[in-house]
Amino acid sequence: MKIAVVYNRESKSVINLFGVPNREKYGKKAIKRISDALKKGGHQVATFEGDKQLISNLETFMPRVVKGELPGLVFNVSYGIQGQARYTHVPSILEMVGIPYVGSGPLAHSLALDKVVAKMIFRQNGLPTPDFAVLESRSFEMPSLDFPMIIKPKNEAVSFGLRIVHNEQELREGADVIFDRYDQPVLVEQYIAGREINVGLLGNNPPETLPSVELIFGGDGPKIYTYEDKVHRSDRTVTPQCPANISPELSDKVRDTAVKAFASLGCYDCARVDMRVDDDDNVYILEINSLASLGTGGSYVAAAKHIGLDYAALINRLVEVASSRYFGTPTPPIVKMVKIKNKKEAAFSFLTQRRDMIEKRLEKWCNLSSRTNDPIGIRLAIKEISQFAKELKLKPVDEFSDDRFVWAWETSKGFKGGTLLICHVDTPSSQGTHFQSFRRDPEYLYGEGIGSSRAPLTILEYALRALRMLKLLHSMHLGVLVYGDEGMDNQFSEKIIKAMAQKAARVFVLRPGNPDDSVINQRRGLACYQLNVEGQRVKLGQSKKSVQPLLWLSDKLSKLEQLSSRKNRLAVSVSDVVTDSYPMLLPHRVSAKILVNYYDLKTLSAAHNEIQNILKAKTNTMKLSMEKIFDRPPMKNRKVNAKLFKDLENVAGEWDIPISKISSLWPSAAGLVPSPIPVLCGLGPIAEDLYTPQENIQRISLIQRMLLLTQYLIKTAGL
């Protein structure tokens, strides 16, 4: 892999020099040591200053990769040149131009550098940190903390300006120095007497904790790690002891605290959390170093060495964890700049080399809203699908289209006796729901309907494009069915889906997958009943003389929920309770929806009878009606499903794509596939927070599921 080591040392290649200059830098020997370690790992390495020439330098060094080659990566050790939040400058540039890099992103760096904000976040997450105050000017009032106190600049690192003060005079003198030298507010902390311990973190989700390190202070002076100590200008030695001589219980405590601190600021890949531990083993977070020093004398390197990672191994391990975070795809096959004869490898290259294009297509889909109750939006979305179907020369199947809720296409050979791919175009959300715009981070993609429909549509399109590129698309029996009433529980598409699926040999429903990399081989059914109860109109003072519909129904609803049974795989619940009343009168009409989540029709029938028994009215003053709104049938766990999953699992194994199977409580269009047609659901990307403003997919799962579907279809073609 091409790796650019980006640092700040000597360059002043900026438009203007002004503001607070950077005081942190790596030495030339340290930069060479990192470069040599990467070369030892087999990488092609170059070093660049993190200045205004960086983008052009990187474009020259790592242009767009050829087929089968991983993109380049930046090993970021840049502290910035000048200005605020300097750690964020190079990561922000890399984010802007789309280059992956080792280490945390701009947000985590900025939070970690602002010690006050970081401490506030720690406290919001229930993490301990010393009491503190902020001095904004020289005329500050005394903070309500006890002496001794620690003072430091609010937005600096490497212990710049760190000092312990024992009285008001020392506090004011120390604050004046910080105001003069660093031109920023002063952070005052309650001094915690005790031991100083830090924990390094390596990796992600969750990070690995390196052995804890205790700083052993030799000689006189306060037991705080000053800048003078770090650059060996003090009259004492500070030695990192690894592992720290602490109890197993305390070791677990500091490690757990470090992991939570890492997560609370959204750090990536590596960091070091500095803590104090008092005589009662209470732990306090001092700060988190989001750009932990890789100096050979530092505690981070010492801790890594203790678990068997020498310097070169540590540096290359950092590349590995960043690569996994960004790329998570299986290792690409070796591909030369010649025509690829192996169609499986050609499909791999076609898809993986178009990841930017695929994500842009997904962004376009997310920006095209087509919610269930938005017929214009759905029509525009279908127009988009029809356009790429026409481009791929797919034929409309009028027999299984109604041009309102269902649209179908097939290859030249037709779909009968082949594979049917089903997905929906509508996003089951109301018009009033607010959704965020499309955005990406290294691990997740966010956007309206991105998991429920947008990513599955993108997977469908690019899997078919890959097959067309291989000149296989029209040599196979393949059909596509898109419906637009998922938010209406397939009330209008049900018959057509059943009829078209009956003609296929196998069916895949491109609904989102589960967070454990699973597809769904079984789903429960869901029936919904509309219940209406109407009684007499009474005033408040007459309430005891007549049965109130709301109170009567409340008692019944609690009994309904008691029908739920794990043993019978049955869940009964109530939603959307609405009352109707006239002014100055109690509610005389109540409506509610009864949801029955069931395993099979026998279970549903028994539950329906019990619900009716519970709801029998014993008074002539009450009118009651119950009507079934919809019934989404269960997806059965058939033997043919198991065979289909096994075939899919074999393909996933060839490409190192994680996959498992799971049973789901919620229904889908897969339940409409007639027996004995094999069907699997959840072949879309791994999604979380569906139908909420935070809906997202795992970024890597988009390409993984796309590759999985494509390679499976190639296999069915006998290649």
Rounded to an integer, the average pLDDT of 384-399 is 96
The least confident of 10-24, 33-47, 483-497 is: 10-24
Contact indicator for 169, 201 with CB cutoff of 8 Å:
no
Contact indicator for 333, 426 with CB cutoff of 8 Å:
no
- Shared domain check, 288 and 183: yes
- Shared domain check, 275 and 374: no
Q: Which of 585, 609, 629 is the last residue of a domain?
A: 629
Query: What is the pLDDT, as a whole number, of residue 123?
Result: 95
Contact indicator for 427, 372 with CB cutoff of 8 Å:
yes
- Shared domain check, 64 and 88: yes
Can you name the residues that pair with 528 across neighbouring β-strands? 595, 630
Query: What is the pLDDT, as a whole number, of residue 231?
Result: 55
Q: Residue 527 above 50 pLDDT?
A: yes
Query: What is the pLDDT, as a whole number, of residue 331?
Result: 41
Asked if the structure places residue 105 within a domain, the reply is no
Rounded to an integer, the average pLDDT of 576-604 is 91
Q: Which of 578, 611, 629 is the last residue of a domain?
A: 629
The amino acid occupying position 553 is L
Contact indicator for 518, 431 with CB cutoff of 8 Å:
no
Q: Which of 81, 100, 119 is the last residue of a domain?
A: 100
Q: What is the Cα 624 distance to its own chain's centre?
A: 46
Q: CATH no. for residue 601?
A: 3.30.70.360
- Shared domain check, 649 and 619: no
Q: Residue 334 above 50 pLDDT?
A: no
- Map residue 616 onto helix, strand or coil: coil
- Shared domain check, 192 and 149: yes
454: its two tokens: 């947008």
Distances (CA, A) of 587 to 72, 112, 534, 544: 67, 55, 9, 14
Q: CATH no. for residue 702?
A: 3.40.630.10
pLDDT band at 543 (very low <50, low <70, confident <90, very high): low
Exposed/middle/buried for 400, CB within 10 Å: 0-12, 13-18, 19+?
buried
Rounded to an integer, the average pLDDT of 180-205 is 90
Which residue, chain included where needed, has tokens 């959840």? 682
What's the start-to-end Cα distance of the chain, in Å?
31
The amino acid occupying position 144 is S
Rounded to an integer, the average pLDDT of 15-30 is 75
The amino acid occupying position 668 is S
Rounded to an integer, the average pLDDT of 529-539 is 87
- Shared domain check, 472 and 446: yes
Asked if the structure places residue 331 within a domain, the reply is no
pTM of the full predicted structure? 0.58
- Shared domain check, 285 and 170: yes
Q: Report the interhelical angle of 355-366 vs 699-716 (nearest 10°).
A: 110
Asked if the structure places residue 217 within a domain, the reply is yes
pLDDT single digits (tens) 44-83: 899 998 888 898 888 778 754 433 446 789 999 998 877 7
Distance CA 39, CA 60 (A): 19
- Shared domain check, 512 and 579: no
Q: Residue 117 above 50 pLDDT?
A: yes
Query: What is the pLDDT, as a whole number, of residue 632?
Result: 94
Residue percentage of the chain with pLDDT more than 90 = 61
Count of structural domains within the chain: 4
Query: What is the pLDDT, as a whole number, of residue 336?
Result: 35
Q: Residue 644 above 90 pLDDT?
A: yes
Q: CATH no. for residue 11?
A: 3.40.50
- Shared domain check, 295 and 152: yes
Q: CATH no. for residue 297?
A: 3.30.470.20
| 356 or 296, which is more confident | 296
Distances (CA, A) of 138 to 131, 172, 179, 187: 21, 8, 8, 13
Distance CA 211, CA 255 (A): 8
CB atoms within 10 A of CB 259: 17
Rounded to an integer, the average pLDDT of 185-209 is 93
- Map residue 338 onto helix, strand or coil: coil
| 586 or 258, which is more confident | 258
Asked if the structure places residue 336 within a domain, the reply is no
Whether the bond between 583 and the residue before it is cis, its omega within 30 degrees of 0, is: no
- Shared domain check, 275 and 141: yes
User: What is the CB-side half-sphere exposure of residue 302 using CA atoms within 13 A?
Assistant: 16
Asked if the structure places residue 333 within a domain, the reply is no
Distance CA 140, CA 136 (A): 7
Q: Report the interhelical angle of 699-716 vs 639-654 (nearest 10°).
A: 110
CB proximity list for 411: less than 8 A, separation 6 or greater:
394, 395, 473, 474, 476, 477, 478, 479
Rounded to an integer, the average pLDDT of 177-203 is 90
pLDDT band at 201 (very low <50, low <70, confident <90, very high): very high
Domain that holds residue 134: 111-325
Query: What is the Cα gyration radius of the chain?
Result: 32
Query: What is the pLDDT, as a whole number, of residue 273?
Result: 96
Distance CA 89, CA 86 (A): 6
The least confident of 59-68, 185-194, 332-341 is: 332-341
Asked if the structure places residue 137 within a domain, the reply is yes
Asked if the structure places residue 337 within a domain, the reply is no
pLDDT band at 717 (very low <50, low <70, confident <90, very high): confident
The amino acid occupying position 362 is L
Q: Report the interhelical angle of 343-352 vs 699-716 (nearest 10°).
A: 160
Rounded to an integer, the average pLDDT of 569-590 is 90
Which residue, chain included where needed, has tokens 């700040």? 8
Contact indicator for 208, 201 with CB cutoff of 8 Å:
yes
Output the average pLDDT for the chain: 88
| 534 or 500, which is more confident | 500
Query: What is the pLDDT, as a whole number, of residue 483?
Result: 97
- Shared domain check, 354 and 313: no
Residue percentage of the chain with pLDDT more than 70 = 92
389: its two tokens: 């179907």
Size of the chain in residues? 719
Distance CA 200, CA 203 (A): 10
Asked if the structure places residue 332 within a domain, the reply is no
CB atoms within 10 A of CB 447: 22
The least confident of 58-62, 240-244, 532-536, 556-560 is: 58-62
Query: What is the pLDDT, as a whole number, of residue 67?
Result: 35
pLDDT single digits (tens) 155-173: 776 557 788 888 999 899 8
446: its two tokens: 């966010």
- Shared domain check, 321 and 174: yes
